[in-house]
A = this chain, B = another copy of it.
Amino acid sequence: MRKDRLEAFSDGVLAIIITIMVLELKVPHGTGPEALLPLLPVFLSYVLSFIYIGIYWNNHHHMLHATRHVTGGALWANLHLLFWLSLLPFVTGWMGENHVAPLPTALYGLVLFMAATAYWILAHVLIAAEGADSFLARAIGKDRKGVASVMIYAAAIPLSFFEEWLAKAIYVLVALMWLVPDRRIEKHPPPAD
């Protein structure tokens, strides 16, 4: 099974997700600042989700670069990840249009939680095929950042119903934590293809 077609398909889906999210920014009818202002929360949600898709694309890129074999199970683990990321435009639009409501904020966190879990599953399906001594296994290591993200999202979901703004602040902070590129893989020499 060839890795390049998996990468191409994932790139295609991520490129479409990152771009159709902007369709939630509906062209307003008025022409003044009062027409633009209500779009600000939708815009900020869009920025956050754009960064998240960028992070996933970046880390996915690194992880597959360090991978030699793609099994049938990895194809489905990858589709599972893309499924949850494909729901990001929906929850981005809902949270953006209802910027002080707890349920949209919680659902946004749920999608982030499921996507982070799906990424963790994909990483472990790939490592299982590569072997515990593989370059990928050593590069991913204990994956503290990935595990921490899953746990933080899990905490932010119930928090949305009490301190809704704090849950959002957490989503922003986790994104900032990931903006630092994954040095674990980058610092090692890539395996020969």
- Residue numbers of A with Cβ under 8 A of B are 1-2, 5, 7-9, 11-20, 22-25, 27-28, 31-33, 36, 47, 50, 54, 57-58, 61-62, 65, 72, 75-76, 79, 82-83, 86-87, 89-90, 93-94, 97-98, 101-104, 107, 179, 181, 186
Contact = CB atoms under 8 A, between A and B. Distances in A.
Contact of A32 (B14, B76, B89, B103): B103
Q: Which has the most chain B C-beta neighbours within 10 Å: A2, A22, A27?
A: A27
B179 A76 contact: yes
Nearest to A82: B18
Contacts of A181: 72, 75-76
24 contacts: A1-B61, A5-B7, A5-B61, A8-B8, A8-B11, A12-B12, A12-B16, A13-B15, A16-B19, A17-B19, A18-B86, A20-B23, A22-B89, A22-B90, A24-B27, A27-B90, A27-B93, A27-B94, A33-B103, A36-B107, A54-B79, A72-B181, A72-B186, A75-B181
A83 B44 CA distance: 12
A103 B78 CA distance: 34
B186 A9 contact: no
A90 B15 contact: no
Nearest to A87: B22
A33 B16 CA distance: 28
Contact of A12 (B15, B61, B65, B94): B15
A58 B75 contact: yes
A13 B20 CA distance: 10
A67 to B, nearest CB: 13
A28 B91 CA distance: 10
A14 B50 CA distance: 15
